[in-house]
Chains A and B, each alone.
Chain A
Amino acid sequence: MQKHLRWTSVLAVTLLALAACTPGGQSSASTAASAGASTGEDPAAVCAADEFGCVEVGEGDNIVIASALTISGDTAFLGNDSNFGIEVGMQDRPEIAGHEAELVKQDAGCGEAEDGQTAAQAIVADPSVVAVIGTSCSRTAVPAMPVLAAAGYTMISPSNTAPSLTNPDTADYGGQFYARTAYNDKVQGAAVAKFACEELQVTSAATIHDGSPYAEQLQQVFADEFAAQCGGTITAQEAINVGDTDMRPVLQTIAAGSPEFLFYPVFDPEGPLITLQSQEVPGLEDTILAGADGIKDQGFIDAAGELAEELGMYFSGPDLNFGTAYTDDFLPKYREISGEENPIAPYHAHGYDAYNIIADAVEAVGLTDADGTLWIPRTALNEYIRGLTDFAGLTGTLTCDEFGDCGSEEVSVAQLQAGVFTEVWTTRDQ
């Protein structure tokens, strides 16, 4: 007994020590120290009045924008895709207010909420960062926002979709410094329910989530809407853990309810595993499978694409019919930058728009003094972004609501055809 206790405590202490090894960073917003502004408002006065001060960009210095996306591990396709979109934006618009734009990439991860906080701390430690594009996953946005908000850094997410992030009645609420160019999952969940009700005409469904805000809320919206829109029956709302590999027990219990439709808006590698193992469980052979934007990526295709194509599995996600500016201008540049034939995930155009919103905001609120130094007041920048109206973006005409939802609300459903996600249904046609 003693021996076991000792080993266990040693292990616990070691793990704690590992966990504590996160880069500590203190925020230090720039303060205006300069005098002698010549044009328009006096930067020194504006910056002194701004609660979070100004970002100071000296003549010839770069404007630094940080991205906090998932760029390693199983979900890296999602974050890299958004980074490619930002990079296309930077290629189209290399200069902001006469300064060269520079992107600093942080890894905010996806599966572990703490990684979002770590990335945020690394970002606020750098006072030259103007604004943040991130995070990829809703789970990591939750702990990142308090850190960023305390330092006055605005974050625009290209792919967070959990409803709670823009719902002030929840603990996850992102607050004043949060905005997103992705849609709210209230929209996606309703669209999937509509697709199941009207297009597939199924009457019973089951869901699986992984405990993340994204998956849990999306399946809940779907379940509520499925019942409300066509009186469908939910036979089970099951859950797995991130890192689980044996999905057969959970699938077996779901099969007992014989659902016609199974919706599992999770991530890689759990999503592909559910798809692969679904065929090994008796009772699910005829169930229609559907996932969402979290697995609509190259990682899924690599892991289970062949079988998903064979089964005709569906994937909901943002409607990517953005028009010719997207197909003829954006995509060729994306291919060139990424080296990929097809987008590796759905949220590249949303990253592109997030970059341009930040660039517009900097040009609108930045003040240049006589020395050629650009002063960007953080509060004013945030107010510009949150007050965005009729922004002509690649993903549509964007207007931010009072809680930070700025995304276009068109949702599509795709299937894999010859190894490529091909849209088969979209809310645009409804």
Chain B
Amino acid sequence: MRIRLPERLSLIDLVLWALRIAIVVGVTAGTVATLAEGTLQATDWRDLLVYGIAQGSVYALLALGYTLVYGVLFMINFAHGDVFMAGAMTAFFVADYFGETGFMNANPIVALAVIFAVSMLTSMIVAIVLERIAYRPLRRAPRLVPLITAIGASLFIANSVRGLFGERIQSYPRVDILQGRIDVLGIPVLKTQALVIVSAIILMLALYYFVERTRTGRAMRAVSEDKDTASLMGIDVDRIIVTTFAIGGLLAGAAGILYALVFNQVHWFMGFLPGIKAFTAAVLGGIGNIAGAMLGGLSLGILESVGPYLLLSGFNVSSPNQLRDVVAFTVLVLVLVFRPNGILGASEGDK
């Protein structure tokens, strides 16, 4: 392609370069104008950044679920957002019970551990059942089929929870030890957000260790490389796929509780938007790439939090925060224009 049509290539190149320059100019102008206004202090920007990292950590945990499944099956598990919701919704009843009996604030560490465990296990079971019932029978079907099934499964899980638990918004009890701020390297960070960031880091390190250092992790990588060859090498492909879904589910369940602790509210439809955002994060970072999912999640979170005000306020755009999705998705489009496989994604040719 490159060799055969050089004249066309130069035109595209020209457009891309013009686009690059326009972006740099636009971003610089917006940033400089906003900073020149000086409405927000340095501490405000710092806080915005921390909010972004916290939100981004939740996206990253969810994005890992998308990316892991994509890595082994090359399918987008659109029901992943609902796996996340199912864990948080189920654990709500435990949390509510702990809240009412006073156990939550008497033994906060134990209570939180139990809530985390319930949510993670629920999400894991939902993910495993999902794989067994909805995806495994379609393993050899054309790629469109599992995609449609995933959307159907997403609606099914969401509406099952709606039917089981009702459609009211449920409020998680407030945990006293998580109120207020804590000093991290001299920066006052909300305790809930500190918990989110720390938990996300621990879980991601654990995942990294698991994938890179254990036998099962190696098998997962082998399956992701080539299912047929892996199975010839004596790897039980079905087992590895179930394991992948289980890990994705565990991470989603943890993300569900972190989300619930930060926002206090859970409801049957809460999985949809974070699911879409996490999918976006996975694509942004390079789908199929574990480090990419983490990077994509954090980038998206920070972009949403800092981006709109930083880039748009300087142009006198009113209510810039309303445009956070516009900013975030514009960046996604631009990243895909210049790096079609995401920030860390390997190019198709490398496969």
Return the CB mask of B287-319 against A: 1 if under 8 Å, else 0: 000000000000000001110110001000011
From A11, A255, A303, give the contact of B265 (CB < 8 A).
Answer: A303
Q: Mark A220-247, 1 if CB is under 8 A from B, else 0.
A: 0000000000000000011111011110
Q: Does A299 count as interface, using CB distance less than 8 angstroms?
A: yes
Residue on A with the closest CB to B325?
Answer: A241
Contact with B309, one of A72, A243, A249 (Cβ below 8 angstroms)? A249
* Closest CB in chain B relative to A191 CB, distance in Å: 24
Residue on B nearest A74 in the bound complex, by CB: B169
B135 at the interface (CB under 8 A from A): no
What 1/0 mask marks residues of chain B from 317 to 328 whose CB sits below 8 Å from any chain A CB? 011111011000
B29 near A: Cβ within 8 Å? no
Q: A4-B283, A269-B169, A280-B190 are in contact. Are A246 and B322 (CB under 8 A)?
A: no
- The residue among A7, A72, A76, A282 with the most chain B CB atoms within 10 A of its own CB is A7
Given A4-B283, A241-B325, does the pair A256, B168 have CB atoms closer than 8 Å? no
Q: Does A327 contact B (CB under 8 A)?
A: no
| A240 near B322: Cβ-Cβ < 8 Å | yes
CB of A389 within 8 Å of the partner chain: no
A304 and B190 contact, CB distance less than 8 A:
no
Residues from chain B with Cβ under 8 Å of A10 in the complex: 144, 147
- Chain B residues whose C-beta falls within 8 Å of the C-beta of A253 in the assembled complex: 39-40, 44, 309, 313, 320-321
**A393 on the B face (CB < 8 A):** no
Chain A min CB distance to B30 (Å) = 15
Given that A10-B147, A243-B273, A252-B44 are contacting pairs, would A237 and B318 also be in contact in the complex, using a CB cutoff of 8 Å? Answer: yes
Pair B265/A269 contact, Cβ less than 8 Å: yes
The smallest beta-carbon distance between A305 and chain B, in angstroms, is: 9
Contacts A72-B167, A256-B41, A299-B169; is A4 near B340 (CB within 8 Å)? yes
A281 to B321, CA, bound (A): 16
Please determine whether A238 and B321 come into contact, CB atoms closer than 8 angstroms: yes
A residues less than 8 Å from B170 (CB atoms): 302
Contact B169 A249, beta carbon cutoff 8 Å: no
In chain A, positions 291-321 with a C-beta closer than 8 Å to chain B are: 299, 302-304
* Contact between chains at A4 and B321 (CB < 8 Å): no
Nearest CB in chain A to that of B39: its residue: A256
- Chain A: minimal CB distance from B325 (Å): 7
A-side interface size class: 35 or more
| Given the contacts A246-B55, A249-B51, A302-B171, A7 and B151 also touching, CB distance less than 8 Å | no
Q: Does A3 contact B (CB under 8 A)?
A: yes
A276 interface residue per 8 A CB criterion:
yes
Contacts A249-B324, A303-B169 given: A74-B48 contact, CB under 8 Å? no
B322→A241 contact, CB < 8 A: yes
Within 8 A of B (CB), among A76-105: 76
Q: Is B348's beta carbon under 8 Å from chain A?
A: yes
Contact with A along B144-156 (1 / 0, CB 8 A): 1001100100000
Find out whether the CB atom of B321 lies under 8 angstroms from the CB atom of A250: yes
Q: Give the complex CA separation of A209 and B170 in angstroms.
A: 23
Which residues from 253 to 294 on chain A have a C-beta closer than 8 Å to any C-beta of chain B? 253, 255-257, 268-269, 272-273, 276, 280-282
Inside 8 A of B169's CB, which chain A residues have their CB?
Answer: 74, 268-269, 272, 299, 302-303
Confirm or deny: B269 has a beta carbon within 8 angstroms of a beta carbon on chain A. Answer: yes
Inter-subunit contact B340/A74 (CB<8 Å): no
The A1-34 residues at the B interface (CB cut-off 8 A) are 1-4, 7, 10-11, 14, 18
Taking the closest CB of chain A, its distance from the CB of B31, in whole angstroms, is 15
Majority-rule SS of B interface residues = helix
Given contacts A239-B319, A252-B51, A253-B321, contact A299 B305 (CB under 8 A): no
Tell yes or no: A372 within 8 A of B by CB: no
Which residues on the B side are within 8 Å of A2 (C-beta)?
348
Judge if B336 is at the interface, Cβ distance under 8 Å: yes
A256 CA to B34 CA in the complex, in Å? 13
In the complex, which residues of chain B have a beta carbon less than 8 angstroms from the beta carbon of A211?
322
Q: Which of B237-276 contact A (CB under 8 A)?
A: 259, 263-265, 267, 269, 273
CB proximity of B301 to chain A, nearest CB, Å? 9
User: In the complex, which residues of chain A have a beta carbon less than 8 angstroms from the beta carbon of B51?
Assistant: 246, 248-249, 252
Which positions 1-43 of chain B face chain A at CB distance < 8 Å? 39-41, 43
Q: How far is the CA of A391 from the CA of B304 in the complex (A)?
A: 51
- Please state if A246 and B168 are interface contacts (CB–CB under 8 Å): no
Q: For residue A3, which residues in chain B have a CB less than 8 angstroms away from its CB?
A: 348
Q: How far is the CB of B342 from chain A (nearest CB, A)?
A: 9
The reply to whether the CB of A323 lies closer than 8 angstroms to some CB of chain B is no
| B76 CB within 8 Å of chain A | yes
A60 within 8 A of B: no
State A281–B305 Cα separation when bound (angstroms). 14
**Chain B residues, Cβ within 8 Å of A244:** 324
**A245 touches which one: B40, B147, B263, B318 (CB < 8 A)?**
B263
Contact A14 B148 (CB under 8 A): yes
Q: With A and B bound together, what is the CA distance between A299 and B269 in angstroms?
A: 15
A273 touches B265 (CB 8 A): yes
A111 to chain B, nearest CB (A): 10
- Do residues B76 and A237 form an inter-chain contact, with CB atoms below 8 A? no
Contact A304 B309 (CB under 8 A): no
Min CB distance B78 to A, Å, is: 8
Minimum CB–CB distance for B340 against chain A, Å: 4
The residue from B41, B55, B336 contacting A4, defined by CB atoms under 8 A apart = B336
- Residues of chain B lying within 8 A (CB to CB) of residue A273: 263-265
Q: Does A387 contact B (CB under 8 A)?
A: no
Q: Is A332 an interface residue (CB 8 A)?
A: no
- Complex formed: what's the CA distance from A250 to B305 in Å? 8
Please give the distance in Å from B300's CB to the nearest CB on chain A. 12
Q: Is the CB of B39 within 8 A of A303?
A: no
B212 smallest CB distance to A (angstroms): 26
Residue from A2, A209, A302 whose CB has the most chain B CB atoms within 10 Å:
A302
Asked if A249 and B48 sit within 8 Å, CB to CB, the answer is yes
The distance from the CB of B62 to the nearest CB of chain A, in whole angstroms, is: 13
Q: What residues on A are CB-neighbors of B320 within 8 Å?
A: 253
Check A168 for interface membership: any CB of B closer than 8 A.
Answer: no
Q: A255 to chain B: closest CB distance in Å?
A: 8
A238 touches B76 (CB 8 A): no
A303-B264 contact, Cβ under 8 Å, with A4-B340, A252-B44:
yes
Which of A240, A246, A282 lies in contact with B263, CB distance below 8 A? A246
Residues in B neighbouring A419, C-beta threshold 8 A? none
B304 contacts A246, C-beta separation under 8 Å: yes
When distances are taken between beta carbons in the complex, the residues of chain A under 8 Å from B336 are 1, 4
User: Which listed residue, B47, B267, B273, touches A74 by the CB 8 Å rule?
Assistant: B267
- Which 3 pairs from chain A and chain B are nearest by CB? A239-B319, A1-B340, A239-B322
User: Could you list 20 A-B pairs, sorted by A, with CB under 8 Å?
Assistant: A1-B340, A11-B147, A14-B147, A74-B167, A76-B167, A209-B319, A239-B318, A240-B322, A245-B265, A248-B51, A249-B308, A253-B40, A253-B44, A253-B309, A256-B39, A269-B265, A269-B267, A273-B263, A302-B169, A304-B171
Query: Other CB < 8 Å A-B pairs besides A276-B265, A303-B171, 8 of them?
Result: A10-B147, A76-B167, A243-B273, A246-B55, A246-B263, A248-B305, A253-B44, A276-B264
